[in-house]
Amino acid sequence: MINLLKPFIVKFYLVFFILIASISNNALCDNDPFPVFKSIEANVSFWKSVYSQYTTKQNIVHDNNRLDIVYDVVSLEVSSSRNARRRNSQKNRVALKKYKTILKKLSNSFPPSTPEELKVVNLWKKYYNGPKTYKTAVKNIRIQKGQRDRFINGVIRSGAFIEQIKSIFKQNGLPVDLAYIPHVESSFNYKAYSKFGASGIWQFTRSTGRRYMTINYEVDERRDPIRATYAATKYLKNSYQTLQDWPMSITSYNHGLNGMKRAWKKYHNYESIFNQYQGRLFKFASRNFYSEFLAAREVAKNYKKYFGDLVLASATHTKAIEMPGFASAKKITDYFGIPLGRLQDLNPALKSTVFEEQKFIPVGYLLRVPNEKKYLNKATEMPSELFTDHQKRLAFYRVQRRDTIISISKRLRVPKNHLILANNLDSRARIYAGQVLRVPTVEEAAILLAKYKTSRKQELQEVPIQEADKHLSQLAQVNPNIVSGNLQVDRIFSKNSIRYGVISIEAGETLGHYAHWLEIPTNQIRKINDLSFRQQIKTDHQLVIPLDKVSESKFEERRYEYHKEIEADFAEVFKIDSIQIYKIKRGDNIWMLCNSVFELPFWLIKKYNVKTDFNNLRPGQQLLVPVIKEDNTTEENS
C-alpha cells in the first residue's frame, strides 16, 4: 500500500513546493515591481557599462546574445568630417572581420595560436558546447556605441522635470521608477527624433501618439515632456492592466502591446520570453529593452556614484493659459513682452510652423508663460484683437513640366526669393516636376528673410537672390526639403448626387489617414473601393474617396501638411551625407528593406527613386539609398 501511495506523495510535495516558490516569486515582485532575473543579469551589467563607462567615441564589439562576451573596444575619431566617419567605419569593419576570422577558425576545431584567439576561447569557455558554439557566434557579432557622455547630458536635462514626472506616475497609481524610461528612449532630449518618426523624450510614434495627444502641422505634444508623460502614463497603465506584469509591460513599450500579448500567450512569463521567444519582430532591441531600463534606472538613481557631482537643470515654473481663439505667435510675444525664442522654449509642443507664421497658435491650446505676476495679470485681460476665429490656410503648388521658379513666381504673384527661401532651393533655384512647393505668406517670408539675415550676419537688399541663395545648401535633383509626389485629387466625378475623387496612394499613407482627413469612418472608404478588412492598399495604386463632407481643397491641404510635417521633422535632425546603390536580391520587398536593411522610412527611399515600381521589385534592379547622419546640434542645443 505504501508503495502504491509513494508516487502520489511525491507528486503532492512537488506541487506544494512549486506553489510555495510561486508565492515567494509573487511576493518578490510585489516588493520590487522591476526584478533583476538571473537570466538577464549579464545584460543589465552590459548596459550599465554602456551608460556609465564607454563614451560615444567608443564602439563595443560584442556577441548579441551573450552580452558578457565583449571582444574589443574600438576608439573612434572625434571629428564629424566625412573623412573621419569613413575612417571610423573602416575601423569597425576591421574589428568585425578580425573576430569573425578568429571564430571561423575555431569553429573548424583549430586550436588557438595567438593571444587574441586564446582570449576568445576564454570568453566562451563557460558557454562552450563544441565547435558549433563558434559557428553560431560568427553570425552574432554586433557593435554598440557607448553612451556615457549622452547619459550624463540626459541626467542633467532630466532635472528640469524628473520630479514632476514621478509625481504624475504616483498620482496615477504607477511605480515612480517608470520615470527613468526616457533615459533609454531619448536621454531626456525633447528634440529627439528617430528615423522612423518617433519623437520626444518618450519617443512616441505618430500612430501611437495620436491615441493620447494632439499631433498635427501646428502642434506636436510628443515634444512636450509633461504632456507626453501623461500619454505614457495612459499607455503603461493600459499595458499593465492587460499583461499584469511590469517587465512585460515595459518591454511592450518597445515591442508593442499586441506583440507582447502574442509572446505571453506562448510563454506566460518574462524570463521564458527573454530566453526562448523567437517572434519575427522580437529582435535585439525588444529583447534588451527591460535590461536597458534596469541599467538606466540604476545609473540615473546613483549618478553621483558613476559620474560625480552634476549640476542638474532647474525646473521651470510656468502657468498654462487657454487660448480663446487663433493667434499669431508674434502678436502674443509682443503683447506679453516675452522674446519669441523664450516662448518657444516654454512651449516645445508648438512647431516651427507657428513661430514662422505659417500657422496661428490654435484655439484651445494651453500656452505656457512664466509663472510671474506681470504675465498672469496680462493673461487675464488679453484683448480680443489678438485673436481670430479661423486658422491660416496653407498654400502649396505642385511643379509641372516646363515650370521654372520665375514662371511660378509670376503665376502666383509671389516674389521668387520668397519661394526660394521657403523651400530651401539650391543656388540655381532648380525645381523638378512632381515637387510640391510651399507658397509662403508675406508674414512668413519676412520671418524667413530675417532668420536668413541673422544666420548669415549680413545685410540683405530688396532682391537678395544672387547674393543670398549662393549660400544655401547645394543639392542634386532630389531636394530632401521639398515634398514630392502627387498629393492632389486626380479627377472628380459624381454618383447618386455625391462627389467623389480619385487619388494616387503615396508612400506612408493608410486608410486611417484618409479617414482622418475626410472625417469619415475607415470602413466607408473600404466599402467604396470594395476592399476586404484584411486587404492592404498599395503605393501608386488609385483609390476613390468621398468629397461630400470635406472639400477637395481641404483634403489636399491636410494631405500636404501630413507629408510636410513628417519630412520637416526628419530634416531637423538628419542630413543627407551621400548616396549608395543597392541591388535588389531575390525575395526582397520594400517593407523589409526599409526596416531591416536601410533602416530608413519608405517615403525617403521613394523620394530618391521616383520612377521605381515598388510593388514589383526585380532582382538586379538598382535603388538609390541616401546615407544620413544625425545633426549633433540637436543634442547639444537642447
In this prediction, residue 455 has a pLDDT band, given cuts at 50, 70 and 90, of low
Contacts of 492 (CB under 8 A, 6+ apart): 499, 500, 501, 502, 547, 552
Q: What is the mean pLDDT of residues 46-74?
A: 97
**How far is the C-alpha of 263 from the C-alpha of 265, rounded, in Å?**
5
30: pLDDT strictly greater than 60: no
For residue 113, give the amino acid letter: S
pLDDT at 373: 93
Q: What is the mean pLDDT of residues 84-101?
A: 93
459: pLDDT strictly greater than 50: no
The pLDDT tens digits for 321-374 are: 999 999 999 999 999 999 999 999 999 999 999 998 889 999 999 999 999 999
Q: What is the mean pLDDT of residues 566-574?
A: 88
The pLDDT tens digits for 437-448 are: 988 888 777 777
Q: What is the mean pLDDT of residues 61-71?
A: 97
266 within 8 A of 277, measured Cβ to Cβ: yes
Chain position carrying cell 493659459: 321
What fold does the segment set 148-307 form as a domain? Lysozyme (1.10.530)
pLDDT at 10: 43
Across 2-6, 96-100, 498-502, 505-509, least confident range: 2-6
Across 79-93, 258-272, 280-294, 598-612, least confident range: 79-93
154: pLDDT strictly greater than 50: yes
Instruction: Tell me the helix, strand and coil percentages in the chain, rounded to 5.
Output: 50, 15, 35
What fold does the segment set 569-636 form as a domain? Membrane-bound Lytic Murein Transglycosylase D; Chain A (3.10.350)
pLDDT at 21: 41
Dihedral sign, CA of 22, 25, 31, 35?
negative
Beta bridge partners of 142: 62
184 within 8 A of 201, measured Cβ to Cβ: no
261: pLDDT strictly greater than 90: yes
Do 148-307 and 395-463 share a fold? no
In this prediction, residue 450 has a pLDDT band, given cuts at 50, 70 and 90, of confident
Chain position carrying cell 502678436: 331
Nearest Cα to 37, choosing from 335, 294, 388?
A: 294
Instruction: Look up the pTM and report it.
Output: 0.83
Q: What is the mean pLDDT of residues 373-380?
A: 93
In this prediction, residue 632 has a pLDDT band, given cuts at 50, 70 and 90, of low
229: pLDDT strictly greater than 50: yes
27: pLDDT strictly greater than 80: no
In this prediction, residue 140 has a pLDDT band, given cuts at 50, 70 and 90, of very high
pLDDT at 571: 87
If one compares 395 and 95, the residue with the highest pLDDT of the two is 95
Percent share of the chain, pLDDT over 90:
68
pLDDT at 108: 94
Which residue ranges make up each domain of the chain?
1-31, 57-145, 148-307, 318-388, 395-463, 569-636
Q: What is the mean pLDDT of residues 462-484?
A: 48
Q: What are phi and psi of 522, to 5 degrees?
A: -60, -40
Planar angle of CA 552, 556, 562, nearest 5 degrees:
150
Task: Compute the mean pLDDT over every residue in the chain, rounded to the nearest whole number.
Answer: 87
218 within 8 A of 362, measured Cβ to Cβ: yes
**How far is the C-alpha of 565 from the C-alpha of 222, rounded, in Å?**
14
- Classify domain 395-463 at the CATH class level: alpha beta
pLDDT at 24: 38
Q: What is the mean pLDDT of residues 275-291?
A: 93
| Orientation angle between helical segments 162-171 and 225-243, nearest 10 degrees | 40
207: pLDDT strictly greater than 70: yes
3 state SS of 284: helix
In this prediction, residue 375 has a pLDDT band, given cuts at 50, 70 and 90, of very high
If one compares 546 and 429, the residue with the highest pLDDT of the two is 546
Q: What is the mean pLDDT of residues 544-567?
A: 93
138 within 8 A of 104, measured Cβ to Cβ: yes
pLDDT at 448: 75
